[in-house]
Structures are given as C-alpha cells and as structure tokens.
Amino acid sequence: METPFWLWLIEGPFWLIAATIFVLGVGWRLVSLLALGRRRDLSVPRGSAAGGALRAILLHFIPHGGFFSSTTFHVLTGYLFHLALFALLLFAAPHVTFLEKNVLGFAWPAMPRWAFIVTAELAFAGLILLWARRISDPVQRQITDGGDHAQLWLTFAVMLTGCLALEEASLALRGLHMVMVELWLIYFPFSRLMHAFTWALSRGAMGATFGRRGVMP
C-alpha cells in the first residue's frame, strides 16, 4: 500500500516531534529531580543508605508488613494491567516491526497472534478494573484529580484505537492509533505518567533515609 500524505505526516514529522518532547521532557524532569539533591544529614549513620535504597526498590514490589490484605485488589489489578501492557508494548508483532523500523533498527521474536489477543484482553480487564475502583472507592475519589482521569482515558484511548486496528486492514485506523500514541507521549512528561520512571527514585529516596537509620524500609 502506498503511504498517503497524512499518514506520512503522522508517522514522520509528528512522530519525531512527539518522541522528542517525550525524551527531552522526561530527561528534564529526571535531571531536575536529581538536582534537588538530599539535605545533608549530620547524624552518625547506623546503616547503609545505598543498601536501604536498593532494599526498598526491590522489596516494595510486593506489599509487606500486613498491608497485603488491604491492597490485594490494587496489587493484582495493578500488576495485571502493567504486565500485560508491557508485554503488548514490547512483543506484539506490529509493535516489534514499528520499533525496528522507526526506533531501534533491530527486531526480536514477537508473540503469536492468539497471545497478542489474550494479552490485550488482560490489559483491558486490568485498566477497566482500576478505573472502576477509582470511581467507586470513597477515599480514592477524594484523592483523584483531573490529571488522573486524563492519563487514564488517554491510555485507554491508545489501547482502544490499537485494538480497533487489530485487523490491520485500514490505514486510517493505524493512523488513529498512532496519533493517540503521540498525544500520550507528549502528555507523558507533564503528568503522573512519569511514575514509570520516578517510582524507583521515590522508593530509593525513602529506602535510603530508612537504611541510614538502620531501619528496614
């Protein structure tokens, strides 16, 4: 199929602009976070800050200390959604091709079609369950703001348009998916989607404080 001009625009210049905003924005935010530094602590350390940071980063993948029962739903649906999303992002055949052509220059084995579909189902189930919880838990309702809804719906739009293009028979649908991806990339550095990068920093900072005091994070 010959690429029409609008699709070229979406997959060419617009893609470059979005990717640039994403990379520069994320870099800027990470650098500025790190540049904040830590307040000098004059007390005598009772343990290793680095060890504490590492321990927090790893241990907090699973809630512990009696928190599991109260967060079971969140842990399960959170992992369901994120793992499925990463699997889709990295191993769906059209994504592998796209990354090879537009970003990396090399490819790896993609998952079979049936696994692609099942993974998409799981990712949607996770996201919809997380949304259902967000709108129906009194506490979560209190702490949810417009940004949370915006990033949730934008992510949903990316996934939805992707699933609508599953037949891979329409350039318009492929273009639509691509536009949503680009909007998502542009919004990313300005939103809490940044948690994809900052989670390690915040866990690490907290773990370092605890570790230095000789407390298990």
Partner 1 sequence: MDKHRRWLPSLAALGISARAGLAAMALLLASPLVGPSLGPGAWLGKALGPGGAAWAQVAAPGNRLGTAPPPARLWRDIRRGRAGAPSGTAIGTGVLVQSEGQRWRELHNRRVRPYGGWALLGSLGAVALFFALRGRVRLDGPRTGRRMARFTQAERVVHWYVAGLFVLLAVSGLTLMFGRGLLLPVMGKSAYGALASAMLQGHNLFGPLFIAGILVMAALFLKDNLPQKGDLLWIAKGGPWMRSHAPSWKYNIAEKAWYWLAVVAGLVLSASGLVMEFPWVFRDISWIQLANLSHGIAALAIMAVALGHIYLGTIGVEGALEGMTTGSVEEAWAFQHHEMWARETAAGSAGARGGTEAESEGARPGAARAGHAAAE
Residues that bind partner 1 (CB under 8 A): 73, 117, 120-121, 124-125, 128-129, 131-133, 135-138, 141, 160, 163-167, 169-170, 172-173
- Smallest distance, partner 1 to C-beta of residue 129, A: 6
User: Least CB distance from residue 208 to partner 1, whole Å?
Assistant: 35
**62 or 172: CB nearest partner 1:** 172
Q: Judged by CB, which is closer to partner 1: 160, or 206?
A: 160
Written as one string, the DSSP assignment of the chain is -PPPHHHHHHHTHHHHHHHHHHHHHHHHHHHHHHHH------SPPSS-HHHHHHHHHHHTTS--SS-HHHHHHHHHHHHHHHHHHHHHHHHSHHHHHHHIIIIIS---PPPPHHHHHHHHHHHHHHHHHHHHHHHH-HHHHHH--HHHHHHHHHHHHHHHHHHHTTT---HHHHHHHHHHHHHHHHHGGGSGGGHHHHHHHHHHHHHHHHHHTT---
> Residue 155 Cβ, how far from partner 1 at the closest point, in Å?
14
Residue whose CB is less far from partner 1, 118 or 183: 118
Rounded to a whole number of angstroms, the minimum distance from the CB of residue 188 to partner 1 is 24
Pick 120 or 158: Cβ nearer partner 1: 120
